[in-house]
Amino acid sequence: MSNQFKSTKLDDIYKILNDANNVFIYSTGWEQQIVAQQLQRNLYLAGKMAFSFPSAVDEMSLQRTHIDANDALIVISYSGMNETVLKMVQNFNLQGVKTIAFTSFRQNRLSQIASYNLYYDTVAKNVQYQNRKEQFFSDLHVLIDLFTMGLINYISKTDSELED
């Protein structure tokens, strides 16, 4: 995971987040919402104001008039195939909002329409409860932490260059 992350060029994404007036985070599931709240906290530590919305597209629709091209939208989705979310992201793209998708590695439409993409794996595990297979999102948790540490480094470097 960390080797793959190191090979990803993130300066464009970091610049967008550093320059954004506000960062909005939308997640599509229960585990993704937990990660979104952690990302919100991490962005706060990096000095960025972020707003995390629960998996309720109507709330993002209400915000549409308050989100503009000076803001950034991060969408955390496992499948990347929810039609309502895809429509929401397309609408924000048309408004000039930079969109960043955190999605699974499998092919999905969200990764095709977002301005930028970061990918994560999940681990499928059989669980005894109701005898079913569950997905575990440990790579997503690691990705969020690595991403934030990189953003903090980018901001520090940018600030020191401005001082020189």
Contact between 61 and 91 under an 8 Å Cβ cutoff? The reply is no
Token readout for 106 is 């499998």
Greatest C-alpha distance within the chain:
61
Q: pLDDT tens for residues 39-82?
A: 999 999 999 999 988 765 555 555 555 889 999 999 999 888 88
Cα–chain center distance at 157: 22
Q: Which CATH superfamily is domain 2-159 in?
A: Glucose-6-phosphate isomerase like protein; domain 1 (3.40.50.10490)
Q: State how beta strands 23-27 and 50-53 pair.
A: parallel
DSSP state, residue 58: H
Query: What is the structure's pLDDT at 22?
Result: 94
Q: Where are the domains of the chain?
A: 2-159
- What was the pLDDT predicted at 110? 93
Q: How many CB atoms lie within 10 A of CB 45?
A: 11
Q: How confident is the model at residue 35 (pLDDT cuts 50, 70, 90)?
A: very high
Q: What is the mean pLDDT of residues 28-47?
A: 92
Task: Encode pLDDT of 150-160 as tens digits.
Answer: 999 999 998 87
Residue 137 has pLDDT above 70, yes or no: yes
- Whether the Cβ atoms of residue 5 and residue 146 lie closer than 8 Å to each other: yes
Q: What is the pLDDT of residue 30?
A: 85
Mean of pLDDT values over 76-90:
88
What per-residue confidence (pLDDT) applies to 78?
Answer: 87
* Distance of alpha carbon 35 from alpha carbon 32, whole angstroms: 5
> Do residues 120 and 105 touch, judged by C-beta distance below 8 A?
yes
Per-residue model confidence (pLDDT) at position 152: 95
Supply the pLDDT for residue 9. 77
